[in-house]
Amino acid sequence: MKVERKGKYVCKTVLNHDAGYMVLEVGDMVRTSWKRPGQFVHVKCGDGRLLRRPISVCSCMEDEPEDTVAIVFERRGTGTDWLAQRECGEYLDVLGFLGNGFTMGPEGRYLLVGGGIGVPPLLGCAKAAPNRCTAVLGFRSADRAMLLDDFRAVCPEVVVMSDDGTLGEHGFVDAGVRRLLEAGERFDGVLACGPKPMLRSVAKAAAEFGVPCQVSMEERMACGVGACLGCACKTKDKNGDPQISRVCLNGPVFDAKEVDWT
């Protein structure tokens, strides 16, 4: 059940040139609405224009008297620019939690694969399965990296990659995924979040090694609640027949086999 709350903005960290981390106090929102990591919130950005933006949740906590939610956003336009200019103590209108999130078992080992602004939701997965995840995290360059120490605190192995070689290994995350799988590391699932070409490559590698793969799709959203078809993506039903899914309502997490990657 999604709820709308006035979230008090209590802590802010600049993660890199474009990305910001915010902690919000959100009343009973976590207690009443949170289901799984990979869900997101829809935050009203802007005075009067009532625009909402889907924002990744990187962790949340039930607490008294106020639950807290940590979100990460990337500046991509007027709405997120407005968000970046908010100051601690201000209130934001937050609708959540939206979407389905990743399905994780109580004992499995997971390979978390994130690219860019797809990295934050996976921190929730890593925290949900401490010491049971390996993370492969990719960024365009060293100055775009984020949350590395947070992942290292809960994951025994964190592989960092960059497109330009300025941080960690030079290359894309699917190469890191293949290397781990070829080395014989066993995982019960691959959980991936990032741009579609990255997800396609990771899903292909997981399929080759027979590891179930869930992908969180990054589509542009408008209403965020299934009403506008602004986030439509091509998927397949159980018989393999084509269908259209709404990322905000039916996702954002899909079994990689359900996605039409063409």
What does the binding site for ligand FES look like in residue numbers (CB under 6 A)? 221-224, 226-231, 246, 248
Q: What Rg do the C-alpha atoms of the chain give, in angstroms?
A: 18
Q: Kindly tell me which of 160 and 248 has the beta carbon lying closer to ligand FES.
A: 248
Q: Kindly tell me which of 74 and 174 has the beta carbon lying closer to ligand FES.
A: 74
C-alpha distances out from residue 103 to 36, 219, 233, Å: 7, 20, 20
> Tokens 């084509």 sit at which residue?
242
Q: Kindly tell me which of 53 and 132 has the beta carbon lying closer to ligand FES.
A: 53
99 SS3 class: coil
Residue 224 CB, shortest distance to ligand FES, in Å, is: 5
Residue 40 CB, shortest distance to ligand FES, in Å, is: 11
Residue 53 CB, shortest distance to ligand FES, in Å, is: 11
Beta-sheet strand order (sheet of 253-255): 169-170, 157-162, 133-139, 110-115, 189-193, 213-216, 253-255
Q: Strand 133-139 and strand 157-162: pairing? A: parallel
Residue 54 CB, shortest distance to ligand FES, in Å, is: 8
Q: Kindly tell me which of 44 and 246 has the beta carbon lying closer to ligand FES.
A: 246
Q: Kindly tell me which of 124 and 224 has the beta carbon lying closer to ligand FES.
A: 224
H/E element, 204: helix 196-208
Residue 80 CB, shortest distance to ligand FES, in Å, is: 16
- DSSP 8-state assignment for residue 259: B
